[in-house]
Amino acid sequence: MAGRAGLLPVLAEVFREHGYEGASLALISQATGLGKGSLYNLFPGGKAEMAACVLAEIDAWFEANLYAPLREADPPAEAVSAMFDAVQAYFRSGRRVCLVGVVALGSERERFAEAVQSYFARWVAALADALKRSGRDDAASVALAEEVVAQIQGAIVLARALGEPALFSRAMTALRARVAAI
């Protein structure tokens, strides 16, 4: 693994699997193959810096693959459909938990509050914008966007809790139909 960027996917999986508090430096070292000294050399701020970098990388992915297309694509209905495809791929059809959601629910929420709030607020805002541009009124667009993001997050949790990833795919199919029907 070359440098910080190459470590971020591995770090993300450690945080997804063990949460921020449970992701000890020993686990991180084992997963990355680097000693604690090397980790601190790359991330002088320790585990908090590692998590912040991982959240920033997730944010950049969502900005490029969801938020910007939702705000800019024409026609907006295609961007909404592409959002569902991207979400399905990113969360590996319900086999991958949402790390931002893990952080939002964990004891580290306050430490990363700005990143967590921004992730969800920007997703809702971008989706609401696409829904408005497709002819829905402002209030209905925001309400539907909040509902969709909430149901996606809930489907991730439920699929993981029940060990049934297909539940996530069924939820995505139902949400697509709900958005298309309105």
- Look up the pTM and report it: 0.92
52-181 is classed in which CATH architecture?
Answer: Orthogonal Bundle (1.10)
CA gyration radius for the chain? 17
pLDDT tens-digit series, residues 53-101? 999 999 999 999 999 999 999 999 999 999 999 999 999 988 899 999 9
Contact 127, 69 (CB under 8 A): no
pLDDT tens-digit series, residues 134-163? 999 999 999 999 999 999 999 999 999 999
